Amino acid sequence: MRELADTDRIARFMKALGEAAREETHAHLVGGATAVLYGWRATTIDVDLKLVPESDSLLRAIPQIKESLQLNVELASPPDFIPVPDGWEDRGAYVRREGRVSFFHFDIYAQALAKVERGHARDVEDLDAMVEYGLVEPARVRDYFARVEPQLYRFPALDPASFRRAVEERFGG
């Protein structure tokens, strides 16, 4: 069984990923990794991220890194679950650079909407923390949703009316 990821384990993962990279790469951290690095959670079950570009050499290195650090790593990010406006790559907060990899938090508003859509208890806690830490503003979350709402048809598992209702209940409207 793999261990929970704290700040130190995530930092070691970033260092190992940076050492494995053979080309310039951006790694966009998501979910629990964002929560741990911002400090509102002590640990996370896994490190979710999106690599740009997804190079074969780096993807092949991840299983060994996972094993050596006893860490869960998932290639998962908001665009896998909800529409995300173009330019998300430029909206993520910089974390650090290791080797040829620059680490960022994935667009925090996309993360917030993905958490609203999923709606698990941990997601609700994370949304509270995002507001408390000043990372998201309710009006901007509503505006962000309005930008992606016309694209919801691309995600047949989503119910647009339920998603809208969840955003309005959480952030007003």
Confidence check: pLDDT of 1 > 90: no
Asked whether residue 162 is assigned to any structural domain, the reply reads yes
Residue 93 forms part of a structural domain? yes
The predicted pLDDT at position 2 comes to 84
- Residues 85 and 135 reside in one and the same domain: no
Which phi-psi region, left, alpha or beta, contains residue 73 (left: φ > 0; alpha: ψ -120 to 50)?
A: beta
**Does one domain contain both 103 and 118?**
no
Does residue 52 form part of some domain?
yes
What per-residue confidence (pLDDT) applies to 43? 98
**Residue that is last in its domain, among 80, 107, 134:** 107
Cβ atoms of 78 and 63 within 8 Å: the answer is no
pLDDT > 70 in the chain, percent: 99
Residue 2 lies in a domain: no
For residue 94, being part of any structural domain is answered with: yes
pTM given for the model? 0.95
Query: Is 18 in contact with 98 (CB distance < 8 Å)?
Result: yes
pLDDT in tens, 138-173: 999 999 999 999 999 999 999 999 999 999 999 997
Chain-wide mean pLDDT for the chain? Answer: 97
> What pLDDT score was predicted for residue 7?
98
Mean pLDDT of 90-96: 98
DSSP string, the chain: -PPPB-HHHHHHHHHHHHHH-SS-EEEEEETHHHHHHHTS-S-BSEEEEEEES--HHHHHHHHHHHHHHT-EEEE--GGGTS---TTGGGSSPEEEEETTEEEEE--HHHHHHHHHHH--HHHHHHHHHHHHTTS--HHHHHHHHHHHGGGGGG-TTS-HHHHHHHHHHHH--
Do residues 102 and 64 share a domain? yes
| Domain housing 125 | 110-171
**What is the pLDDT, as a whole number, of residue 151?**
98
Determine the pLDDT at residue 85: 96
Give per-residue pLDDT as tens, 15-38: 999 999 999 999 999 999 999 999
Measured distance CA(154)–CA(138) in Å, rounded: 25
Residue 1 within any structural domain of the chain: no
In the chain, the number of structural domains is 2
In this structure, are 101 and 114 located in the same domain?
A: no
Same domain, residue pair 99 and 139: no
Place of tokens 């996972």: 66
